[in-house]
Amino acid sequence: MSSRISIEGRRILVVSPRFFGYEKRIADGLKARGAMATLVDDRPDNDTLSKLLIRLSATLIQPKLDAYHRAEIERLKGKTFDDLLFIVPESCSVATIRRYQMAFRSARTLLYMWDSFENKTRRNIPDFLTLFDRTFSFDRQDCRKYGMTFRPLFFTGAPVAGTVKTGKIYGFSFIGTLHSDRYRILKALGEQASKSGMDHYIYPYLPSSLHYWLYKLTKREFWGVPRSKLQFAPLPYAEVLRILDDSAAVVDIEHPSQRGLTMRTLEVIGAGRKLITTNRNILDYPFYSPRRVLVIDRKKPKIEPLFLKAMAEPIPAHILDEYSLNGWIDDLFGPLKSNQETDL
């Protein structure tokens, strides 16, 4: 394990969207290291319509978004911060970020992107990035294009009592939100598993029926997706961990325009499970091994039974540490490494 940088006593404001509880786990991770972390939701509302409007074009409701953040800044009046950490700030206009900086003048401003700019509607990205003292992304291509620091996501490794089992019930599992061609790939893998008698678990999730009908109207990939095959309630985190522990391998299907590794990928690696993924970029990471990671063709997905049976050697502890939440915190708040991109 590498030596930890000290953030004890640092006052950190985290502005982040809700994302399956990861924003809270980041705040908890900072507090566990002695920092005083304050969490602000990037969105004023988390109902389906608000999320869709922000994702499709935040400018449509920008006055409402700006008013929300002005109220949050007023609520925080009297506090001081050493760091302002913005994580994928979809609702924050340039003016809003400057208001936070004006309100907390002594704070350093950091940006972390766990999505590719290609998937965002924000314009004038080079000018936007000049607002921040440090900029990080999980996407190597964005880092090279915009001069950001490459920092992959992390696994939390948070154990939940009563969920750990030693037996492997499922050959593979998938729990995640549907997008792009995910349903087609999952359907093909499920059919293959059923024909071979392999138990498997697939939980294709959408936040609401509104998402389903909107995608049905606007996205060709959803034309043949039956509503009855989808889930509209997220699984509790403890249940996700149970399914993960009962799976020999976990399937990950990245968005076609995404290059960085998803949170699911890192959680699987951190849990010591095998990964089946369509993301060929994983070949460039130090924990890759053909015995641990199976890269499949998203056009003709196929799982090799021998992959599930083969024994994979353990990942060295120092590599796992780099991809932990603590490793992520060290890289964001510690000294920047000149060779950071080649290390991770």
Q: For residue 303, what are its two tokens?
A: 């799982």
Looking at the structure, tell me whether residues 53 and 136 fall in a common domain: yes
pLDDT at 162: 33
In a domain, residue 190? The reply is: yes
Residues 176 and 312 in one domain: yes
- Say what the pLDDT of residue 54 is: 60
Decide if 226 is inside a domain. Answer: yes
131 and 202: one domain?
A: no
- State the chain's mean pLDDT as an integer: 88
68 and 174 together in one domain: no
Q: The CATH number of the domain where 99 resides is what? A: 3.40.50.2300
Which positions of the chain have pLDDT values less than 70? Answer: 1-2, 46-58, 158-167, 337-344
H helix intervals, 47-112: 48-57, 62-75, 94-103
Structural domain boundaries enclosing 288: 170-321
**Statement: the pTM of the whole predicted model exceeds 0.85:** yes
Domain co-membership, 144 together with 182: no
> Strand order in 134-137's β-sheet?
36-41, 11-16, 83-87, 108-113, 134-137, 149-150
Residues 280 and 177 occupy one common structural domain: yes
In a domain, 51, yes or no: yes
- The CATH number linked to 311 is 3.40.50
Domain match, 194 and 302 both: yes
In a domain, 200, yes or no: yes
In this predicted model, what pLDDT tens digit does every residue of 231-275 receive, in sequence order?
Answer: 999 898 789 888 988 998 999 999 888 899 999 899 888 888 899
SS3 of residue 340 by DSSP:
helix
Is residue 4 in some structural domain?
no
Please tell me whether residues 186 and 123 are part of one structural domain.
no
Residues 6+ apart with CB under 8 A from 162: 238
Q: 79 with 210, same domain?
A: no
| The total number of structural domains that make up the chain | 2
| Contact present, 110 and 85 (Cβ < 8 Å) | yes
Phi, psi of 181, deg, nearest 5: -100, 20
Beta strand 36-41 pairing with 11-16:
parallel
* DSSP symbols for 95-112: HHHHHHHHHTTT-EEEEE
In a domain, 26, yes or no: yes
